A and B are shown apart, each in its own frame.
Chain A
Amino acid sequence: MSWQGELNRYLASAYKNWIISRRNIFTVFELFFWPMVSLLSIGLLTRFLAVEGSMVSFLLVGAIALTILQVAQIDVAYVLLFDMWSKSIKNTFIAPIRSYHLVFGALLFGILRGCVVFFILVAVSGHLFGFNFLAGGIFPVLAFLAGIFAMAASIGITVCISILTFGQKADVAAWSLSGLILLVSGIYYPVDVLPPLLQALARAIPLTYFLEYYRSIFIPGPHHLAWGCALASFYLILGLILLDRAIERARRTGILLRLSE
């Protein structure tokens, strides 16, 4: 098959997600309403508590990171959720595609949506709270976003694996997994304040390191960006392998048929 044909197999998921999002009024909520609620509530809280400058950046970096993560990860999960909700999974899995076609196509659209949200939040946080997110230059921003999108892909893949393993009811994972990340990866507080067990869990989550890295621009301190990148890559590769296995298992157990009924 030509490279254009292979490329189109990736783009198929992005194309589907784009059209469905375009026609769904609730996309406005996903792209504007919830991100703004998240940013404004944290920003206003910092004013109410009279939080000083570096702590404002600590909290706003967390709020922006969490919002982009949620938007991008749900797009990866949508690649299976849309098929499951419309009961058209058979039509997708009869085609000669692999898990990475689905994941990277959907992630591409997730990155696009994530970037839109990012620019809106950066502009609003600068305008309302005087926070210059881009103060560290372009490379730190790119590294930070790349880390978040890799993390989003891993969470989206985990949602897909859950659905293929446990069936339709597991779609709740699409919204609850990012809550777990919020709790343990130091979105609004340093991981040092967590109990030892949760601290160990936080150290296993790449987002912890990307937050630590980006915050070091505003509050100088050590960071472990390389370790975060290594972990993110490991989870992404592991996720793709496990997703392929989950698809094969779903074909053996017949869950793939039940997801279409």
Chain B
Amino acid sequence: MVARMKGKSVQASGICKRYKSFFGRSSTIMENISLDIDAGDIFGLLGPNGSGKTTLISIFSTLIYPEAGSLSILGMDARRNRNAIRKCINISTAKPNFPWSLTVKENLRHYGMLYGLHGSDLSRTVRDQIDAFELGEFQDHRFEDLSTGLKQRLSLAKAMLNHPSLIFLDEPTTGLDPDISIKTRQLIRRIHEEEGISVVLSTHYMPEAEMLCDRIAFLRQGRIVALDTPHNLKRHLALGERIAVSYQGEADLAVLEEQPGILGLKAEKGRVEIIVDRSEESLDGIIKLFAKAKITDIAIKEPDLEDVFIELAR
């Protein structure tokens, strides 16, 4: 594993993006986005469709420019050093698309040439990426004949051609079968660990963000509504663990609600779902309050990012 880099891969402050229609009507897509991403991190952008994830990735990767705000990528000013930044970053787009009639190998050669690779260096890099992403069997297949999963792998391979310090992955597993999604996530994890590359990825798959990301920004309508580690996001939103108790008989739910560590409860006949800060600290006290009743079932569920997503997307 490569040692983690120091510093910031992305420093954004007050980023705004507006689109103007042909008739001059303006719509705001991003508003006042400020965030820092540590070098060597996998940073997740989460949010429902249309929340601005792709736009933000496009701004960070210098594909499009913001109207306002300051942006530094890998310590370089994104206004003054665009070409220098582009040499050190790369992107794997959502719905990967490449010239249709070029084969896997030809596509990688073409994009390698755009990055100034030449001679044996170009051939070796293309071969390395084909091997790394297990594309050898398909290297002479045209892009138009590839499955969605293979297209995604080609896109990741292309994103590694220039040995970037920072890559942007826009919904890298959207539309993939579950087994291919798992494989793709493992590939991302491997790239990150073996090459020491900073990764900014957008997704609306919660398990993906939870599995991969060191920190997450949750976007809604072009704004960041939450930014933290997955663990802290769950805690700060009071999405504690859920203890579901099924019982017969009487239980004093009013007393239960006032117990320390209880964040909330939802009761229905013979069943109560209690949200607690930490189940191991509260469980004993909760069970005591059911002394007059007979507990028929008890289950503990940890919160996941799905809960965070639902809470924040409201």
A-side residues, CB < 8 A to B, are 1-2, 4-9, 11-12, 15-16, 19-20, 23-24, 82-83, 86-88, 90-98, 101, 248, 251-254, 256-257, 260
Contacts and interface: CB of A to CB of B under 8 A. Distances in A.
A260 B113 contact: no
Contacts of A6: 116
Nearest to A92: B114
B61 A94 contact: yes
- The majority secondary structure among interface residues of chain B is mixed
A253 B114 contact: no
Q: Which one of B20, B83, B106, B111 has the highest number of Cβ atoms from chain A below 10 Å of its Cβ?
A: B111
A86 B98 contact: yes
A61 to B, nearest CB: 36
A223 B55 CA distance: 54
B49 to A, nearest CB: 14
B65 A252 contact: yes
A257 B122 contact: no
B99 A9 contact: no
B116 A94 contact: no
Interface of B: 17, 19-20, 29, 54-55, 58, 61-65, 67, 83-84, 86-87, 89-91, 93, 95, 97-102, 106, 109-111, 113-119, 122, 143, 158
13 contacts: A4-B119, A5-B116, A5-B118, A8-B117, A9-B113, A11-B113, A12-B111, A12-B114, A23-B101, A91-B91, A254-B17, A256-B64, A257-B64
Given A9-B113, A9-B116, A93-B63, A20 B102 contact: yes
A87 B117 CA distance: 24
A82 B58 CA distance: 21
Nearest to A10: B113
Contacts of B90: 94
Contacts of A93: 63
B66 to A, nearest CB: 9
A101 to B, nearest CB: 8
Contacts of B65: 248, 251-252
Nearest to A3: B118
A164 to B, nearest CB: 13
Contacts of A92: 114
B86 A253 contact: no
A1 B17 CA distance: 33
A88 B87 contact: no
Main secondary structure of the interface of A (DSSP, over half): helix
A117 B118 CA distance: 30
Contacts of B55: 254, 257
A15 B112 CA distance: 12
Given A91-B93, A253-B19, A96 B101 contact: no
Contact of B86 (A15, A95, A248): A95
B64 A260 contact: no
A16 B110 contact: yes
Contacts of B29: 254
A246 to B, nearest CB: 14
B97 A94 contact: no
Nearest to B121: A5
Contacts of B119: 4
A9 B114 contact: yes
B118 A4 contact: yes
A88 B116 contact: no
B116 A15 contact: no
Nearest to A87: B97
A31 B71 CA distance: 48
A88 B63 contact: no
Given A88-B97, A90-B93, A91-B93, A8 B83 contact: no
Contact of B115 (A7, A82, A96, A98): A96
B83 A96 contact: yes
Contact of B113 (A12, A94, A251): A12
Contacts of B64: 251-252, 254, 256-257
B262 to A, nearest CB: 47
B171 to A, nearest CB: 13
A90 B114 contact: no
A90 B114 CA distance: 13
A212 B90 CA distance: 49
The 8 lowest CB-CB distance pairs between A and B, nearest first, are: A5-B116, A12-B113, A96-B86, A95-B114, A87-B97, A4-B118, A8-B113, A8-B118
